[in-house]
């Protein structure tokens, strides 16, 4: 008979979601096998969130030098050194990497196996010469950049998020195909670091975010020099001497050629499922990813899928949230159901955009006209004025009782501001709770208290309230 490893959990993929499941399960006393074919930490640590935010931070420092005169300080044009910027990115990754390392997880008692995982049947996975027959499996293999079927693209050198952070020389003229969060974040960062950047987007840039927010963010990015081409079709890519030429069709139907030194493809992502042999496991999937129910189970009751590989929101923190639910259900049999309404997301442009819960369209579909939209401009906030970053907006949606059902912001620290609203929605809080808090002055979060008071303004005409005031006058 074949010898099998028989752990409580077998986790396939050591990205953020897989690592969270493996660490939590091992610390709770479960036996865990963790399989990874490439780098521990996955996309987020090595080619995604961490290096991109490190690059954005470098771009922010450069931009601060240019905008210093607004504060009475002489400006100095920054001189970015891409070799040293690349060193900075690698140092940030190296500082985090020990938390995700093979050594740490083996120290936690996790059996880490390096290799390609493939299902043999509904209950068995093979890696090299090892066969694992776990009580439960968790697929957390993530996603990779999608390469669109553009004529000529395969014949020219192009970058993706997996290679852009290896650049040690400045991409002087960078063409980016894709105007989603990845494309726009990297566009602004590179423009600030001295590159000439053109973004080609077939629809609208940042189309998944609230249009009121994106209008503000895109206005700033364009003002910094990024050439953003919306509703533009990429027709063909060609080599041109030492450059790359991209033929495009503009919204009016005109054909134009854009020439650059480098090409970055940021046109979406595809799930990593090809090598898993999911058919043998009877796990249903589509080109968007593995199908799961609200309890994160696949069509095979022994198999869960989390993170980018599961069709749904593709964010690191979503994978972490789902990982916690899987541990509760797989180890303890507790009923779980993911709640997408409590998931916040942020786009790290400057100004940043952040949202959680319902948007106005979703609220209108559910509540009709029985909800409120509260707005407060950052122009009314003293801290934003001191920072000279007043072009921002907070928007909060409530039902008629005051329960917060959605929130979003664009502007200074919007990505941090959204945390409190994510907390409020997760705990079914009403907007009135913010009227009770005292915020340090001057901080940006004062806008949260000001906007909560807006909810009660239309109640000031209440005859009972006016009667109480009049009655109180009688007693001096």
Asked if 323 and 32 count as a contact pair (C-beta separation under 8 A), the reply is no
In this predicted structure, what is the pLDDT of residue 175? 98
Read off the pLDDT of residues 151-209 as tens digits, 9 standing for 90 and up. Answer: 999 999 999 999 999 999 999 999 999 999 999 999 999 999 999 999 999 999 999 99
Asked if 395 and 210 count as a contact pair (C-beta separation under 8 A), the reply is yes
Domain identity same for 291 and 394: no
Domain identity same for 307 and 351: no
Read off the pLDDT of residues 286-321 as tens digits, 9 standing for 90 and up. Answer: 999 999 999 999 999 999 999 999 978 889 999 999
In this predicted structure, what is the pLDDT of residue 313? 82
Domain identity same for 239 and 282: no
Domain identity same for 184 and 245: yes
411 belongs to a structural domain: yes
Percent of the chain beyond pLDDT 70? 97
Residue 264 has pLDDT above 90, yes or no: yes
**Which whole number is the average pLDDT over 358-362?**
93
Give the domain-ending residue among 216, 249, 268. Answer: 268
Residue 1 has pLDDT above 70, yes or no: no
91 belongs to a structural domain: no
Domain identity same for 22 and 131: yes
In this predicted structure, what is the pLDDT of residue 433? 95
Read off the pLDDT of residues 96-137 as tens digits, 9 standing for 90 and up. Answer: 999 999 999 999 999 999 999 999 999 999 999 999 999 999
Q: Which 3 state secondary structure label does DSSP give 44?
A: helix
283 belongs to a structural domain: yes
Q: Whole domain around residue 409: which residue ranges?
A: 342-457
Residue 469 pLDDT level (bands cut at 50, 70, 90) = low
Domain identity same for 184 and 257: yes
71 belongs to a structural domain: no
447 belongs to a structural domain: yes
Domain identity same for 289 and 237: no
Read off the pLDDT of residues 362-396 as tens digits, 9 standing for 90 and up. Answer: 999 999 999 999 999 999 999 999 999 999 999 99
Domain identity same for 377 and 439: yes
Residue 461 pLDDT level (bands cut at 50, 70, 90) = low
Say how many domains are in the chain: 3
| CATH number (domain holding residue 436) | 3.30.390.30
Residue 459 has pLDDT above 80, yes or no: no
Give the domain-ending residue among 241, 268, 295. Answer: 268
| CATH number (domain holding residue 197) | 3.50.50.60
Domain identity same for 348 and 394: yes
Distance between CA atoms of residues 133 and 271, nearest Å: 24
Asked if 246 and 237 count as a contact pair (C-beta separation under 8 A), the reply is yes
314 belongs to a structural domain: yes
**Which whole number is the average pLDDT over 48-65?**
97
Domain identity same for 366 and 451: yes
Stretch (H or E) spanning 37: none
72 belongs to a structural domain: no
Q: How far is CA 392 from the centre of its chain?
A: 20
Burial class of 255 by CB neighbour count within 10 A (0 to 12, 13 to 18, 19+) = exposed
Read off the pLDDT of residues 324-342 as tens digits, 9 standing for 90 and up. Answer: 999 999 999 999 999 999 9
419 belongs to a structural domain: yes
Read off the pLDDT of residues 125-136 as tens digits, 9 standing for 90 and up. Answer: 999 999 999 999
In this predicted structure, what is the pLDDT of residue 476? 60
Asked if 426 and 401 count as a contact pair (C-beta separation under 8 A), the reply is no
In this predicted structure, what is the pLDDT of residue 457? 78
Under DSSP, the state recorded for 403 is: B
**Which whole number is the average pLDDT over 141-148?**
96
Domain identity same for 223 and 328: no
Residue 435 has pLDDT above 50, yes or no: yes
Residue 472 has pLDDT above 80, yes or no: no
Domain identity same for 136 and 21: yes
Residue 465 has pLDDT above 60, yes or no: no
Distance between CA atoms of residues 309 and 315, nearest Å: 11
Give the domain-ending residue among 338, 356, 387. Answer: 338
Distances from the Cα of 41 to the Cα of 17, 48, 234, 308, 443, angstroms: 9, 10, 34, 14, 35
In this predicted structure, what is the pLDDT of residue 311? 73
Residue 474 has pLDDT above 80, yes or no: no
Residue whose pair of structure tokens reads 């959204």 in the numeric block:
418
Going by C-beta distance under 8 Å and a sequence separation of 6 or more, which residues neighbour residue 476? none
């Amino acid at each position: 008979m074949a010898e099998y490893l028989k752990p409580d959990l077998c986790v396939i993929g050591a990205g953020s979601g897989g690592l969270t499941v493996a660490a939590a399960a091992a610390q709770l006393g479960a036996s865990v096998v963790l399989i990874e074919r490439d780098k521990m930490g996955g996309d987020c640590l090595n080619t995604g969130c961490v290096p991109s935010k490190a690059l954005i931070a470098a771009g922010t420092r450069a931009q601060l030098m240019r905008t210093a005169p607004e504060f009475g300080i002489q400006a100095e044009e920054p001189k970015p050194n891409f070799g040293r910027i690349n060193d900075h990115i690698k140092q940030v990754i190296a500082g985090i990497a020990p938390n995700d390392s093979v050594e740490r997880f083996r120290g936690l008692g996790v059996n880490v196996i390096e290799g390609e995982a493939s299902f043999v049947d509904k209950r068995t996975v093979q890696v090299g010469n090892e066969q694992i027959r776990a009580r439960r499996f968790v697929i957390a293999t993530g996603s990779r950049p999608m390469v669109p079927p553009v004529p000529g693209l395969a014949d020219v050198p192009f970058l993706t998020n997996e290679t852009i952070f290896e650049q040690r020389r400045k991409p002087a003229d960078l063409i980016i195909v894709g105007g989603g969060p990845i494309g726009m974040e990297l566009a602004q960062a590179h423009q600030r670091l001295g590159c000439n950047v053109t973004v080609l987007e077939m629809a609208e840039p940042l189309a998944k975010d609230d249009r009121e927010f994106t209008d503000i963010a895109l206005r700033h990015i364009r003002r910094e020099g990024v050439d953003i081409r919306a509703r533009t079709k990429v027709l063909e890519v060609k080599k041109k001497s030492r450059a790359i030429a991209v033929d495009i069709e503009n919204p009016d139907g005109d054909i134009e050629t854009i020439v650059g030194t480098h090409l970055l493809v940021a046109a979406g992502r595809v799930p990593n499922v090809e090598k898993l042999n999911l058919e043998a496991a009877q796990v249903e999937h589509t080109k968007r990813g593995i199908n799961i129910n609200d309890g994160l189970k696949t069509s095979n009751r022994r198999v869960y899928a989390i993170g980018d590989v599961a069709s749904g929101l593709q964010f690191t923190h979503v994978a972490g949230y789902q990982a916690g639910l899987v541990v509760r259900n797989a180890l303890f049999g507790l009923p779980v159901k993911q709640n997408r309404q409590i998931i916040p997301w942020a786009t790290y442009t400057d100004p940043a955009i952040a949202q959680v819960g319902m948007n106005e369209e979703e609220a209108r579909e559910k509540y009709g006209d029985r909800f409120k939209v509260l707005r407060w401009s950052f122009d009314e906030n003293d801290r934003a004025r001191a920072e000279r970053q007043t072009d921002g907006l907070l928007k909060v949606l409530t039902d008629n009782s005051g329960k917060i059902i959605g929130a979003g912001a664009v502007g200074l620290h919007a990505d941090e501001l959204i945390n409190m609203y994510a907390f409020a929605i997760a705990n079914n809080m009403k907007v009135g709770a913010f009227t009770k808090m005292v915020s340090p002055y001057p901080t940006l979060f004062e806008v949260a208290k000001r906007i909560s008071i807006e909810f009660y303004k239309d109640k000031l005409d209440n005859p009972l309230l006016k009667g109480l005031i009049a009655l109180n006058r009688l007693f001096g």
